[in-house]
Amino acid sequence: MDLMEAIKKRVSVRSFLEKPIPDEIINEMLDAARLAPSGGNGQNWIFGVVKEAELKTQLACAAGGQMWIASAPVVFACCAEISWDLKGLPEDDFGLIVNKLRWGNDFVCYLNECPDRRNVKKLLENPTPLISGEHIFLTAVSYGLAACFIGYLDTEKAGEILKLPDHISCLFLLPVGYVAESVGPPPKKSIKEISFTNTWTE
């Protein structure tokens, strides 16, 4: 399957067959994630490959009781290292400079005043596993599989279930499997609706 075909066939699926995914395909998905780009080539994502039924059930409960998640043969736990922080950095730190440029000094100061440093770090790292996770998703589609990103998740509970160390947080789940019920693509906006050329007013 070529790239555009995989993109066009990529839909969020919430119903899976009881059919295992071969290990070589799982490894291919992980390799696709490994090759994804990251800011400063940090590569600070980590993916758990959850196959055990009881663990999948517990993760489904942590995801607001979405029990269909447990029906997927594999649930990828999309994690990130959250040891990096804006607070206490020297003013010439590149990460601090970039974040002040992007969000403004006032917002960075606001984040630095928040006493819950763990959640501030999680907020900053929230996008970390998404590009690499999408590589997993598209690779899955290319092998006739489907998936669905889950952000409705008690991330602390997921960390407890997966026995993650303090510097790792599970930010999303990605159940993957063979489709039990076909799902048509949702309506999409036109190219004209989602783009502009040069400036907004042209």
pLDDT in tens, the chain (202 residues): 789 999 999 999 999 999 999 999 999 999 999 999 998 899 999 999 999 999 999 999 999 999 999 999 999 999 999 998 999 999 999 999 999 999 999 999 999 999 999 999 999 999 999 999 999 999 999 999 999 999 999 999 999 999 999 999 999 999 999 999 888 888 999 999 999 999 998 7
Residue linked to tokens 């407890």 = 160
Domains of the chain, CATH where assigned: 3-81+129-181 (3.40.109.10)
How far is 61 from 150, CA to CA, in rounded Å?
Answer: 12
User: What is the number of H-type helices and E-type strands within the chain?
Assistant: 8, 4
pTM, two decimal places:
0.94
C-alpha to C-alpha distances, 82 to 34, 54, 158, 160, nearest whole angstrom: 18, 27, 15, 15
Q: Are strands 168-177 and 45-50 parallel, antiparallel or unpaired?
A: unpaired
In this structure, what are the phi and psi dihedrals at residue 199, rounded to the nearest 5 degrees? -130, 160
